[in-house]
Amino acid sequence: MSQARLMDGSALARRIVEDTAKKAADLKERTGTAPCLATVLVGADPASVTYVRMKQNRSRKAGIESRHVELPATTTTAELVATLDALSADPTVHGILLQHPMGEHIDERAAFEAIAAEKDVDGVTFASFATMSFGLPGFVSCTPGGIIRLLDEYDVDPSGKRAVVVGRSAILGKPAGMLLLARDATVTYCHSRTQDLSAAVREADIVVAAVGRPRLIRGEDIKPGAVVIDAGYNAGNVGDVDFESAAERASLITPVPGGVGPMTIATLLEQTVTAAARQLGV
């Protein structure tokens, strides 16, 4: 029987998006300009197509214009960088989202770094990573930022807690750990070379699963009363955590779907409106 309380990302995301829509409307009224988010998709990976569509639809509902750039899977790094340079220089675009993954032949870092810092509403550049890591104002990576908002919403203070982040990707695991560190958690990163994952997870007061391996984290490894954040995206809306068994021991747990996912998009929209306001001098 499940004991954990659900951390309802859908409900919190809805409130953030409603608030963001009001700010977007206010900005348009004051400046005559609606915030604009450019989405860039390389190739046609079905999951990425879905995520980009979700971002466009929710942008529209929040009064954010979207400009979509679709590039073929054969796009080179140089071509992608040229596209991102053009969007970075375009004053009618306030935020840029480069959907990940983008193909193994592409130098992902070169592509992310082509996004102007002031338009990095997805928090993927080195500049954003630095401000995020030092707890300074700037744009956060959207999923990690959404995770911190969920923790705040459910009164989970990471200070002094042992946090274990499973996964070290540039857009998820690494920044999630840095945001928790900035909140004074004692952070351990686990990854494919970690020798005893179960032992590390068993120590955790906060577990962030961000590795993309369906049901990797099981209830028997969850410390009783731990907070479990499932940030795994796998086919069929299955998370990285075995929800049923983990919920028996956790005090709080995010569901998949309806947990971290909606928070990712809400954070993106919120940061787009912030970027637009700054660029429009409001």
CB atoms within 10 A of CB 45: 17
Q: Tell me if 193 is assigned to a ligand binding site.
A: no
Q: Which residue has the tokens 């306030």?
A: 94
Determine, following the binding rule CB under 6 A, whether residue 258 of this chain makes contact with ligand LMY7XDAE: yes
CB 281 → ligand LMY7XDAE: shortest distance, Å? Answer: 27
Interface size with ligand LMY7XDAE, residues (CB under 6 A): 18
8-state DSSP, 76: -
Pick 63 or 123: Cβ nearer ligand LMY7XDAE: 123
Determine, following the binding rule CB under 6 A, whether residue 7 of this chain makes contact with ligand LMY7XDAE: no
CB 96 within 8 Å of CB 55: no
- Region of 25-33, 62-70, 179-187, 262-270 interacting with ligand LMY7XDAE (CB under 6 A): 262-270
CB 145 → ligand LMY7XDAE: shortest distance, Å? Answer: 9
CB 103 within 8 Å of CB 73: yes
Q: Measured between alpha carbons, how far is residue 104 from residues 50, 74, 101, 221 in Å?
A: 20, 11, 8, 34
Pick 142 or 275: Cβ nearer ligand LMY7XDAE: 142
Q: Quick one: CA dihedral 197, 145, 150, 37, positive or negative?
A: negative
- Region of 38-46, 88-96, 151-159, 255-263 interacting with ligand LMY7XDAE (CB under 6 A): 255-263
Determine, following the binding rule CB under 6 A, whether residue 99 of this chain makes contact with ligand LMY7XDAE: yes
Pick 138 or 223: Cβ nearer ligand LMY7XDAE: 138
121-150 in b/e burial notation, b at 16+ Cβ within 10 A?
Answer: bbbbbebbbebbbeeeebbbbbbbbbbbbb
CB 146 → ligand LMY7XDAE: shortest distance, Å? Answer: 9
Q: What are phi and psi of 95, to 5 degrees?
A: -140, 150
DSSP string, 130-143: HHHHTT-SSPPPHH
Q: 36-42 and 95-98 as β-strands: parallel, antiparallel, unpaired?
A: parallel
Among 230, 191, 200, 196, CA closest to 214: 230
Pick 75 or 264: Cβ nearer ligand LMY7XDAE: 264
Spatial distance between the Cα atoms of 102 and 48, rounded to a whole number of angstroms = 9
Amino acid at 281: G
Determine, following the binding rule CB under 6 A, whether residue 214 of this chain makes contact with ligand LMY7XDAE: no
Q: Which of 210, 217, 256, 275 binds ligand LMY7XDAE (CB under 6 A)?
A: 256
Q: Which of 56, 264, 271, 279 binds ligand LMY7XDAE (CB under 6 A)?
A: 264
Residue 279 is a catalytic residue: no
Considering only residues 152 to 181 of the shown chain, the ones binding ligand LMY7XDAE according to CB under 6 A are 171
Show the tokens assigned to 169: 């990707």
Active site residue ranges:
55, 99, 122
Name the site residues for ligand LMY7XDAE (rule: CB under 6 A): 51, 97-100, 122, 142-143, 171, 233, 237, 256-258, 261-262, 264-265
Annotation: binding site: 167-169
